[in-house]
Amino acid sequence: MPIKASRVRFWLLDINFEMRLGTPEIWLWGTCNGERILLLEREFKPYFYLVISEEPRSVLPALRSESQKLGERVEFQPLERNFFGRPVKVIKVICTNPETMGNLAQRLSKVKGIDESLEDDIRLSTRYLIDTGVTPCSWHVADVRRAENPPEVIADKVYSLVGPPEKLDEGGLPDLRIMSFHVVSLGGSGSLQQGKEPLAVISVDGSLKRPRQFFKGDGEDREALASFIKYVKEYDPDIIAGYGANQGIWQAIMYRAQHRGLKLTVDRAFSEPHSSLYGHISITGRVGLDLIDVAKEMPSLDVERLDYFARYLGLSVKEELMDFEEADLSDLWASGDKKPVLKYSAQNAQIIAEAAEFLLVFLTQFSDLVKLPLDHVVAAAVGFRVESYLMAFAHKAGELIPKRIGRDYAPYAGGLVLNPKPGMHKDIAVIDFTSMYPNLMIKFNISPDTYAEEPAKDLNVAPEVGYGFRKSPDGFYKQALRSLVSARRDLVAKLKGLGPATTEHKLLEARQRAVKIITNAMYGYCGWVGARWYAKPVAEATAAWGRSVILRTIGLAKSAGLEVIYGDTDSIFLRNDPAKIAKVLSDVGEEIGLEARPEKVYRKLLFTEAKKKYCGLLSTGEIDIVGLEAVRGDWAGVAKRAQTKLIEIILREEDVEKATAFMRQFVAQVLKGDVPKRDLVIWKTLTKPTEEYEVKAPHVEAARIMKEKGWQPNVGDKIGYIVVKGDGKLYQRVRPFAFMKGFEPDYIYYVQNQVVPAAARVLSIYNVDESSLIA
């Protein structure tokens, strides 16, 4: 019977692998022209490498017999590869079962003549992406035929791949179906504990269908859950977005479904959401996005509250719908006043859908660049994103991928920070080096594979630390960085010719941003002990070159007759004398061979003795606050607001009297209790389970109280607490901000330990005493 072949074009949404009919099968979920398709690949075989120091024929018989003993059908291919820049002889071991591959590799690596096994720790779906160049969130064409024995899935068509898909050089997104969801459960106090309590309401939204809400009637939540599952099937979303979804919301829903005898088949393969590689919940055939992961990476958000996040993205939020604590949701619901709860949840679902839509371009570009599926790229830590990029890059360069191994933490010296000249400075220019570390790594060819352990000719030798790096050939990091830097240059050049509001512009701008992030993370990655391409000398030498560059720049500034007021790692602060600055910049280019640029100019700039903390009035008229309490998330709003106002008075009006008077009045107001409660909340991150803390701490104590009340604070959550009146240590006087009933804020604490120290930090320059603020 002739096999009808055809060609399909698709955008890759998700990839997974299944053992089916005894064979590993790669599943590619694609979308195109409004159709959802599943492409099956049954021919792709798992494999790994054995590094040998002898001739292949002397080890092959032993390898054959060992694999026979294990009952594995394998094929051996002697090959040449590079490992850390050195040519190595390897045997590629192609096997059949990815699940037993690790064990096989371990056994075969013990055979005499085998040095080690490599790449046996790479998952099959990752392997497939690396080897074929197939890329998530990117367009492809593929030759396909109708699948025989297609699996039971939700898809318009199921095909078998005739060969690997070919990646197309096309940008743009297909029409993706985004669905969002938000859940309110009836825990003891409105929390999503372990799903022990019924769900009050599940809200869904998205651009495709009208928003809906499924809620519990008088009885239980079975109906709501069943309707939710049905709705997802009808909607058939490509992306399911939630907020905190990976941190208990899916678990709670799953628990409830199980409790009510329902199977939570919200994926495209009639199975249930399951936990995946980066601690996230994976939904086969769809992309499960937890936007809280995105929020946690936004440094300007003190607290990852959904409404703050939404406002930060520029989305409109109806404040009146958020006007109660989450802790009160349960009571409200129980009191029969369900309307505000429903409205609140509906708005949240709407915000999540809008945020997902807003972020989609950037996230898909990021996924495409580093070759991690969309749900993975959002959930994965920075180091794994860089690593994913490098793994694909290594394969293209014929380099073997090092194993992930456990190492002990090994610190080294980093950037140089100068002592600031305290006081008020006028007309100060900041010059800094553009992408200093990446450029140093390129310039001196700093890479694990160019590192010369023995002294040799023609090396770049790092100052202070003395590590040598071969000048040629180009090292692995240099190749990767150069490709990133040139990609970014091209993108930026293309952007200039485009209208700012066009789809193309948006796409390239997002791409450019993704490239920049990976470029700048490369140095940190190479000094991370968990990195596959970890090399301490690389990180250490880069930092040492950085220190020498900044020191030499200081020298050049001084010879040009400029006073250096401050400097940190890759920047120096100088008197803004344009002619002299220009001289310094050209000297830097000539003598150091790196680009430094004037970054900004301060009309006025204020330093205390402390490093990394200052504030200034920029030439643009803006106030810039760096490192001070006003920009720290772990200070109460009262202190931050007071300090900000104070800084404005001092910088704009230079009136210390007025500033002091303002502070006195502010302090009096706080002592009267005339301050919004939310300005008293102090937020701190719970960095480990409460039991693991060695000393008592206020936010840990607050988290413990939350637990008692039925809440489940997770590691990584920010705990908001208020200091209340009472006796004992500070940690004995805190309440989670949502549980203030019967407690009164300790305004004296807020004055003495928050407002006054924050103000004094700035006023101390003018010899204003702390006590004079309390009068």
**Residue 79 vs 610, nearer CB to DNA:** 610
Residues 465-484 close enough to bind DNA by CB under 7 A:
none
Q: Are 615 and 607 in contact (CB under 8 A)?
A: no
Q: Report the residue from 19, 70, 413, 661 that binds DNA according to the rule CB under 7 A.
A: 413
**Cβ atoms within 10 Å of 308's Cβ, excluding its own:** 16
**Residue 64 vs 404, nearer CB to DNA:** 404
Long-range residue pairs from 306-309, CB within 8 A, at least 24 positions apart, any chain: 306/243, 306/348, 306/351, 306/352, 307/351, 309/243, 309/355
Task: Examine residue 405 and tell whether it contacts DNA (CB under 7 A).
Answer: no
d(CA 202, CA 342): 9
Residues 630-649 close enough to bind DNA by CB under 7 A:
631-634
Task: Examine residue 70 and tell whether it contacts DNA (CB under 7 A).
Answer: no
Cα 16 to Cα 37, 277, 381, distances in angstroms: 14, 12, 20
Q: Which of 305, 390, 333 is nearest to 217 (CA)?
A: 333
Cα 453 to Cα 142, 405, 523, 531, 641, distances in angstroms: 47, 21, 20, 20, 54
| Helix ranges, 497-566 (H) | 503-526, 536-559
Q: Are 9 and 32 in contact (CB under 8 A)?
A: yes
**Residue 603 vs 611, nearer CB to DNA:** 611
**Residue 488 vs 699, nearer CB to DNA:** 699
Cis-peptide, bond into residue 340, ω within 30° of zero:
no
Euclidean distance between the first and final Cα of the chain, in Å? 96
**Residue 382 vs 452, nearer CB to DNA:** 382
Task: Examine residue 431 and tell whether it contacts DNA (CB under 7 A).
Answer: no
Question: Which range, of 392-400, 438-446, 479-487, 611-619, touches DNA by CB under 7 A?
Answer: 611-619
Residues 734-753 close enough to bind DNA by CB under 7 A:
753
**DSSP designation for 185:** E
d(CA 712, CA 699): 14
**Residue 376 vs 684, nearer CB to DNA:** 684
Task: Give the CA radius of gyration of the chain.
Answer: 30
Q: Are 541 and 558 in contact (CB under 8 A)?
A: no
What are φ and ψ of residue 553, in 5° steps?
-65, -40
Q: Are 304 and 296 in contact (CB under 8 A)?
A: yes
d(CA 121, CA 135): 20
Q: Are 416 and 567 in contact (CB under 8 A)?
A: yes
Q: Which of 154, 164, 447, 472 is nearest to 286 (CA)?
A: 154
Q: How near is the Cβ of 693 to DNA at its closest, in Å?
A: 4
**Residue 30 vs 698, nearer CB to DNA:** 698
Task: Examine residue 407 and tell whether it contacts DNA (CB under 7 A).
Answer: no
User: For 222, what's the count of Cα atoms within 13 Å in the CB-facing half-sphere?
Assistant: 7
Interface characters, 482-501, with DNA (x: CB under 7 A): --------------------
Task: Examine residue 85 and tell whether it contacts DNA (CB under 7 A).
Answer: no
Interface characters, 302-341, with DNA (x: CB under 7 A): x---------------------------------------
Residues 670-729 close enough to bind DNA by CB under 7 A:
683-688, 693-700, 718, 729
Q: How near is the Cβ of 441 to DNA at its closest, in Å?
A: 13
Q: Report the residue from 396, 404, 489, 612 that binds DNA according to the rule CB under 7 A.
A: 612
**Residue 76 vs 743, nearer CB to DNA:** 743
Q: How near is the Cβ of 351 to DNA at its closest, in Å?
A: 23
Q: Report the residue from 177, 216, 532, 613 that binds DNA according to the rule CB under 7 A.
A: 613
Task: Examine residue 434 and tell whether it contacts DNA (CB under 7 A).
Answer: no
In a 3-state reduction of DSSP, which class is residue 444? coil
Q: How near is the Cβ of 452 to DNA at its closest, in Å?
A: 22
**Residue 413 vs 461, nearer CB to DNA:** 413
Query: DSSP string of 620-643?
Result: TS-EEEESSGGG-TTS-HHHHHHH
Task: Examine residue 461 and tell whether it contacts DNA (CB under 7 A).
Answer: no
Q: Report the residue from 93, 539, 585, 647 that binds DNA according to the rule CB under 7 A.
A: 539
Q: Are 223 and 229 in contact (CB under 8 A)?
A: no
In a 3-state reduction of DSSP, which class is residue 307? helix
Q: Report the residue from 299, 314, 499, 621 that binds DNA according to the rule CB under 7 A.
A: 299
Q: How near is the Cβ of 41 to DNA at its closest, in Å?
A: 28
**Residue 150 vs 414, nearer CB to DNA:** 414
Report which secondary-structure segment, H or E, holds 308: helix 306-312
Q: How near is the Cβ of 572 to DNA at its closest, in Å?
A: 10
**DSSP designation for 322:** G
The burial class, CB within 10 Å (0-12 / 13-18 / 19+), for 303 is middle
**Residue 340 vs 414, nearer CB to DNA:** 414
**Residue 6 vs 687, nearer CB to DNA:** 687
Q: How near is the Cβ of 208 to DNA at its closest, in Å?
A: 35
d(CA 78, CA 92): 6
d(CA 14, CA 368): 12
Q: Report the residue from 5, 79, 405, 626 that binds DNA according to the rule CB under 7 A.
A: 626
Q: How near is the Cβ of 747 to DNA at its closest, in Å?
A: 14
Q: How near is the Cβ of 430 to DNA at its closest, in Å?
A: 8
Interface characters, 581-610, with DNA (x: CB under 7 A): ---------------------------xxx
**Residue 216 vs 684, nearer CB to DNA:** 684
**Residue 289 vs 625, nearer CB to DNA:** 625
Q: How near is the Cβ of 589 to DNA at its closest, in Å?
A: 19
**Residue 55 vs 634, nearer CB to DNA:** 634
Q: How near is the Cβ of 763 to DNA at its closest, in Å?
A: 13
Question: Which range, of 4-12, 214-222, 392-400, 629-637, touches DNA by CB under 7 A?
Answer: 629-637
Residues in the site for DNA, rule: CB under 7 A?
Answer: 299, 302, 381-384, 386, 410-415, 417, 432, 521, 523-525, 527-531, 539, 543, 568-571, 608-613, 626-627, 631-634, 683-688, 693-700, 718, 729-731, 753, 757, 761
